[in-house]
Amino acid sequence: MTIELPTSSSLENTRAVENRVREILQRYPEAGNVVSHVGRPDDGTDPKGPNNIEILADLNPRAEWPFPDNEALVTGIARRIRALPGVPTNFSQVIEDNVEEALSGVKGEIAIKIYGPDLAVLGRTADRIAAILRTIPGAADVEAARLWGQRELDIAVDRDSAARLGLNVGDVNAANHAALGGIAVSQFYEGDRRFDVTLWLAEKDRTSLDGIGALQIGLPGGAGSVRLADVAHIGTRQGAARIAREDGQRNASVKANLLGRDQGSFVAEAQARVAAPVHLPPGYQIAWGGQFENQQRAVKRLRVIVPLTAFLIFALLFGVFRSMARALLVLAIVPFTPAGAVAGLALAGLHFSI
């Protein structure tokens, strides 16, 4: 199970949520060992922050389950976890989870991607689609990717005020860069190693708006200095926490898992429900992917493979019987064989899939 909290979630808050979720899982006799992980993996291959939780729960033998099947178990666990405010869930299997993320970059059976240039439009559209999917029977773990939530410092230079004092934008930005990002002013050597001596504001002054506003900027000709707050507007804003790209285009994604429903009928209903209220401006498009994309590719291949296979079978039968009538008679059995497969799926409670 994966849980992605808001981007602003601290490590301490994430650990507290992790402990609550572990307590919920350990109440179920179906769950054996429960292993959890917060943040990104040790090898640094995934760009995960301290707001990410991944939990692996080994399941005990099915004979020990009070729940009748996997879907009932997942529904029961999800109901308890979602009682925690702002804690979305995503349930999967180990290999399935890796395959789904490799297919579409999204941890979900169904992935809907909206492509376009403006992040605000992408975010609004993704939230709108997610709200529609939640109303469709069979949808579970529906969530739109979080695009926003990164707190940013915004320093906008007042060009008129700076010009009156003989400053240009480059002078102000250079002072900001040195004070907040640091600037190498010298170097020192330790054996064969060389280190930069970096100058920047003290931490207490870099972490407050008042401290940043008090930064002194030298005036031309050595005529004293002026505060940054006198020549710039300083504030904070919510910026993009994640910008996803595919084929050179920005995109926002919506993921969903399915419970008690097959992919084909769900996607067909979802596409019809989304098409009516969601209107995209020029330059934007929606793509449906994930396991559904694999199914569509397989269907296209089967349209070629099935007729070709039937022809080859007929050729083999004709070669054996030397009679077209007998070959066609044997081949006529093929349409009736799916009845056994459909009956087997029905008895097992499984949906027709790829």
Is 70 exceeded by the pLDDT of residue 354? no
Is 90 exceeded by the pLDDT of residue 7? no
Looking at the fold, whether 138 and 38 belong to one and the same domain comes out as yes
State mean pLDDT over 123-149: 90
pLDDT, position 137 = 92
pLDDT, position 72 = 83
State mean pLDDT over 68-92: 85
Looking at the fold, whether 103 and 234 belong to one and the same domain comes out as no
3-class state of residue 35 by DSSP: strand
Question: Among positive and negative, which fits the CA dihedral 267, 273, 278, 279?
Answer: positive
65 pLDDT band, cuts 50/70/90, is: confident
What percentage of residues in the chain have a pLDDT greater than 70? 99
Looking at the fold, whether 45 and 124 belong to one and the same domain comes out as yes
CATH number of the domain where residue 162 is located: 3.30.2090.10
State mean pLDDT over 13-25: 92
Is 70 exceeded by the pLDDT of residue 64? yes
Residue 36: other Cβ atoms inside 10 A: 17
6 pLDDT band, cuts 50/70/90, is: confident
pLDDT, position 295 = 79
Looking at the fold, whether 40 and 55 belong to one and the same domain comes out as yes
pLDDT, position 296 = 81
Looking at the fold, whether 262 and 343 belong to one and the same domain comes out as no
Q: Give domain status of residue 59, yes or no.
A: yes
Instruction: Locate 332 and state its tokens.
Output: 């006529």
pLDDT, position 285 = 92
Q: Give domain status of residue 354, yes or no.
A: no
CA distance 74 to 78: 6
| 17, 87 Cβ separation under 8 angstroms | yes
Is 70 exceeded by the pLDDT of residue 44? no
Residue where one domain finishes, among candidates 240, 255, 285: 240
Instruction: Kindly report, residue by residue over 293-304, the tens digit of the pLDDT.
Output: 777 888 889 899
Is 80 exceeded by the pLDDT of residue 280? yes
State mean pLDDT over 278-292: 88
**Mean predicted lDDT score pLDDT of the chain:** 87
Strand 148-157 to 232-240 pairing: antiparallel
Q: Give domain status of residue 95, yes or no.
A: yes
Q: Give domain status of residue 62, yes or no.
A: yes
Domain ranges, residue 191: 151-240
DSSP 292-344: HHHHHHHHHHHHHHHHHHHHHHHHHHHHHHS-HHHHHHHHTTGGGTHHHHHHH
pLDDT, position 250 = 93
Looking at the fold, whether 13 and 106 belong to one and the same domain comes out as yes
Q: Give domain status of residue 343, yes or no.
A: yes
Q: Give domain status of residue 353, yes or no.
A: no
Looking at the fold, whether 62 and 201 belong to one and the same domain comes out as no
pLDDT, position 243 = 86
Is 90 exceeded by the pLDDT of residue 127? yes
Cα 336 off chain centre by: 43
pLDDT, position 136 = 93
Is 90 exceeded by the pLDDT of residue 68? no
135 pLDDT band, cuts 50/70/90, is: very high
Is 80 exceeded by the pLDDT of residue 104? no
Looking at the fold, whether 47 and 98 belong to one and the same domain comes out as yes
Looking at the fold, whether 282 and 311 belong to one and the same domain comes out as no
Looking at the fold, whether 45 and 75 belong to one and the same domain comes out as yes
Looking at the fold, whether 145 and 44 belong to one and the same domain comes out as yes
Is 90 exceeded by the pLDDT of residue 337? no
CA distance 26 to 350: 28
Q: Give domain status of residue 21, yes or no.
A: yes
Instruction: Kindly report, residue by residue over 110-120, the tens digit of the pLDDT.
Output: 889 999 999 99
State mean pLDDT over 75-85: 88
Look at the chain and report how many structural domains it folds into.
3
Looking at the fold, whether 27 and 136 belong to one and the same domain comes out as yes
Is 80 exceeded by the pLDDT of residue 67? no
| 181, 153 Cβ separation under 8 angstroms | no
Instruction: Kindly report, residue by residue over 243-253, the tens digit of the pLDDT.
Output: 888 888 999 99
CATH number of the domain where residue 99 is located: 3.30.70.1440
Q: Give domain status of residue 301, yes or no.
A: no
